[in-house]
Amino acid sequence: MKKIILIIALSLLYLIVYSQDTIKVMSYNLLNYGNYTSYCTTSNNNVSEKNEYLKTIIDYALPDILGVVEISPEDTYIDGLKNNVLNQNGRNYYAKAPKSNYSGSSIINMLYYDSRKLTLSFWTSLATTYRDINIYTFYFKNDALENGDTVYLTCIVMHLKAGDTDADASDRATMAQTLMNFLNNSNQNTNYLVMGDFNLYSSSEGAYQQLTNFSNANIRFYDFINKYGDWSNNAYFSPYHSQSTHTTSDCFSGGGLDDRFDFILGNINTITGAKGFKYLADSYTTLGQDGQHFNKGLLDSPTNSTVPSDVLEALYGNSDHLPIIAKFIVDNTMSVNDYSLPIDYYLIDNKLYINFINPSYTDMSIKILDVQGRQVYTDQISSDIQQYILDMNNYNKGVYLIDIYNNTGFTSFKILNF
């Protein structure tokens, strides 16, 4: 009897462990990657040299999701980062998300991800005066996907206006408000992460307050390390400062490590795990930060032993910012989330009927994915259509994920075609 109980207990433990995965998210300002200026040149910020630094950093960190800012919008560099850095040293699984540059900036945001674990389901971007805000929704590939169950995650990458004037702070607040208004109008109860270089000097700034004190609790963001106050040039916050790795200025900003500019924030669902994606306690890290280099360069004394010496030198050589890393637990037993577009649906005689309860003011797109994440169908749906019918006889038996979306939100659901 004891043996039977032990076997059952071990089996349950196996199922619990097997149904969870750990995801590492990294946010990094690459410092004018491929964007040559009068002060960032081929001599002091050469892409080939940066690639070698970045390979060392990626080899060490191995993020599943990498959000970057300050990369050239040219495909040569966007693809180059994927091919010459990420998919090196035996790796071939990193994919890039789509780019945008509606704001016409010389540097943009990008996101790269482990395509073995994640499938991009939806993306959009918001134009602002300075730089786009990029929004990407993924679902996780796992064994439960065969039963139509998965977890969704929306990653937002943004680079707020730099500068320490009141006007700069106002611009940052406006950019943050643009994001929060979009999320509020979308009204999705899902998992959100926002990451990037926010250029914030204090938690009292309008942009930070927009993000963390927004009226809609579902989309309000939380600081995983709960460190509030005046971050800039404040030794109390030295373990969390992410800029600058250098004390002198050329391409790199100077002044030493004395600013907390870089962040990963999450909404309430990432705190509670209510939607299958939960922050792993104490995993938030400023890579290479030992708390002993306030107003100093990263390589100055005392010796920094938080990372191997080659990684430390690569962090110093590549950028004036340090990467931010956070880890999350994915509960693969969670079901597919339902999102904001109000619809109902049913399957009769292998025909899928989709009814739009409230008319949409803009056209929609529909996409069908199989359990391997492959797109098997796509179409446009006019805003005046109240019912859309799909003949599922054209598809093999099995589970399919249906995505319906427009520029205000999207709905995802599963069907079993039999």
pTM above 0.95, yes or no: no
DSSP 334: P
Three-class DSSP category at 291: coil
Q: What was the pLDDT predicted at 181?
A: 96
**Which position has the higher pLDDT, 214 or 372?**
214
The answer as to CATH 2.60.40.420 being correct for domain 343-417 is no
> How far is residue 6 CA from its own chain's centroid?
41
Q: What was the pLDDT predicted at 266?
A: 97
| Banded pLDDT at 364 (limits 50, 70, 90) | confident
**What is the C-alpha to C-alpha distance for residues 174 and 166, in angstroms, rounded to an integer?**
12
Q: Per-residue pLDDT averaged across 116-137, rounded?
A: 96
The residues spanned by each domain of the chain are 22-330, 343-417
Three-class DSSP category at 308: coil
**What is the C-alpha to C-alpha distance for residues 160 and 170, in angstroms, rounded to an integer?**
11
Stated as kind and residue range, the H or E segment containing 17 is: helix 2-18
| Banded pLDDT at 46 (limits 50, 70, 90) | very high
Q: In this prediction, what percent of the chain has a pLDDT beyond 90?
A: 67
In tens, the pLDDT along 142-186 reads 765 655 578 999 999 999 999 999 999 999 999 999 999 999 998
- Dihedral of CA atoms 353, 357, 362, 367 in degrees, nearest 10, equals -30
Stated as kind and residue range, the H or E segment containing 263 is: strand 262-267
Residues paired with 155 in a beta bridge: 136, 193
Q: What was the pLDDT predicted at 31?
A: 98
Contact indicator for 350, 203 with CB cutoff of 8 Å = no
Q: What was the pLDDT predicted at 98?
A: 97
Contact indicator for 365, 405 with CB cutoff of 8 Å = yes
Query: Which of 82-91's residues contact partners 24+ apart within 8 Å by CB, and which partners?
Result: 82/112, 84/51, 85/51, 85/54, 85/55, 85/58, 86/58, 86/112, 88/55, 88/58, 89/55, 89/59
**What is the C-alpha to C-alpha distance for residues 191 and 409, in angstroms, rounded to an integer?**
14
- Pairing of the two strands 118-126 and 152-159: unpaired
Average pLDDT, the chain: 89
| Banded pLDDT at 270 (limits 50, 70, 90) | very high
Structure tokens at 214: 């927004």
Q: Per-residue pLDDT averaged across 377-390, rounded?
A: 87
Structure tokens at 54: 């970045």
Contact indicator for 417, 400 with CB cutoff of 8 Å = yes
In tens, the pLDDT along 214-230 reads 988 889 999 999 899 99
In tens, the pLDDT along 326-336 reads 999 998 654 44
Architecture field, domain 22-330: 4-Layer Sandwich (3.60)
